[in-house]
Amino acid sequence: MDHFRSHFPALSRQQNGKAIIFADNASTTLKPQSVINSVNYFYTHLCSNVHRGENTLTQEASELYEKVRIRLADFLNASPDEIIFVKNATEGINLAAHLAGLTQDSHVLNSIFEHHSNFLPWFQRAKVELVNPLRNGDFHPDTFQEKINSQTKLLAISHVSNITGELFPVDSLIQLAKKNNLLTLVDASQSISHFPINVKELGCDFLVFSGHKIFGPSGVGVLFARKEVLERATPWMVGGGMVDWVEESGFAPRSGPAKFEAGTPNIEGVLGLGSALAFVQEVGWSAIQEHNEKLALHFWELLRKNSFISIHRLRKDCPTNPIFSITLNGLSGNEVVTLLCNRHNIMARYGAHCAEPLMRYWKLPGTVRFSMQVYNTVEEVSLIADALESMTRFFL
């Protein structure tokens, strides 16, 4: 993987004359040069709107924009008609909540592990129940089954936790939801850059992620929505770009994804996202998964050697996704990340990670989170563990 590091210019950033270690990838990922070039290409050579007019620039921009939709459909095994460009995962979930046709009496199931962005859009429109999926120390789909009632309309769950890196059993939860005629949403924000996703195999109705979590630009995200759900839904935002015709007494929306993409989209973001997907495909899923599992296992083994560290997870086994939430007994999380940054050049994150219900359940103000990506190395992981070790020796 080492030669891929050279594709990420931000990795050459130094602090105090030394290289930085970026371990906050669950928050956002770094961008390869090809993504930066795509955004740059748009502003340098196209700088034009999409689907508006016949001139060369707009036609080229529209063609490239729609090619990314096709690439995304291929990436997820969906149809291009099922791919809607949004601002980010948060907007995608808000749009899905609109498309689901919920009422204030609808009942929605969430897990207690959800990011606020996969809780509040449901909370605002329906009665949400945060299910604690644990039973006998393991995740149990029956805990969801027990909560389903005649008003339950939808189950929304993250694929991989942004707090613990754990993979949730979305396949069995979707099967369970289907048996009970519920719609399903998978929040793929933390899985999209880690392993291949096949929406047809999963059988979900909605799946969302942000481009910036998979080496793409900020300000662009994707909502996959099953064609049947889209066809019966009304537009959520109205204006230019989403109408077939308009007269004083009314309008007719366009069909397909355009119906849900009102206004000028983030064209440069979409083009950059296309290059990010190309980057992932070039590296290859097996190399990505193998590398990430190696990082996770190495970090897991080192963390467990330090008796001052508590690792916060659902299960007791090692995660395959290198996302870890820890606390250091006796040291505040803020102190830990500040010391890591200022003394060791390590960029980590302390806080509730937009999962306050979970922190309340754990009775913790927050955790220190480390999250790695393909460009992190085993040596960097060792340096992080060494830094934590020296901190505990010095302070505790």
Ligand X SMILES: Cc1ncc(COP(=O)(O)O)c(C=O)c1O
Residue numbers at the binding site for ligand X (CB under 6 A): 26, 88-90, 115, 117-118, 158, 162, 187, 189-190, 210
Q: Which is nearer to ligand X, 88 or 321 (CB)?
A: 88
Residue 1 or 186 having the CB closest to ligand X:
186
Tokens of 257: 């994804």
- Least separation, in Å, of the C-beta of 48 and ligand X? 26
Q: What is the DSSP string of 340-362?
A: HHHHH-EE-EEE-TT-HHHHHHH
- All residues at 6 or more sequence positions from 134 whose CB lies less than 8 Å from its CB, including other chains: 140, 143, 314
Q: Rounded distance, CA 168 to CA 2, Å? A: 30
Of 219 and 333, CB closest to ligand X = 219
- Looking at the Cβ atoms of 83 and 385, the one nearer to ligand X is 83
Measured from the CB atom, is 83 or 391 closer to ligand X? 83
Report in angstroms how near the CB of residue 187 gets to ligand X at its nearest: 5
Q: How far is the CB of 273 from ligand X (least distance, A)?
A: 13
Pairing mode of beta strands 367-371, 349-351: antiparallel
Q: What is the DSSP letter of 58?
A: H
CB 158, min distance to ligand X, A:
5
Tokens encoding 290: 């193998």
C-alpha span between 169 and 306 (Å, rounded): 30
* Residue 91: C-alpha distances to residues 32, 88, 252, 286 (Å): 25, 5, 24, 31
- Give the number of other Cβ atoms within 10 Å of residue 321's Cβ: 26
∠ CA(275), CA(281), CA(286), 5° rounding? 150
Question: Which residue is catalytic, options 47, 204, 341, 354?
Answer: 354
Contacts of 43 (CB under 8 A, 6+ apart): 268
Give yes or no: 354 in active site: yes
Alpha-carbon distances of 328 from 77, 123, 299, 311, rounded to whole Å: 42, 33, 15, 9
Nearest distance in Å: CB 396, ligand X: 31
> Given the complex with ligand X, which of 219 and 256 has the nearer CB atom?
219
Query: Could you tell me which of 221, 250, 249 has the C-alpha nearest to residue 235?
Result: 250
CB of 121 to ligand X, least distance (A): 10
* Catalytic center residues: 354
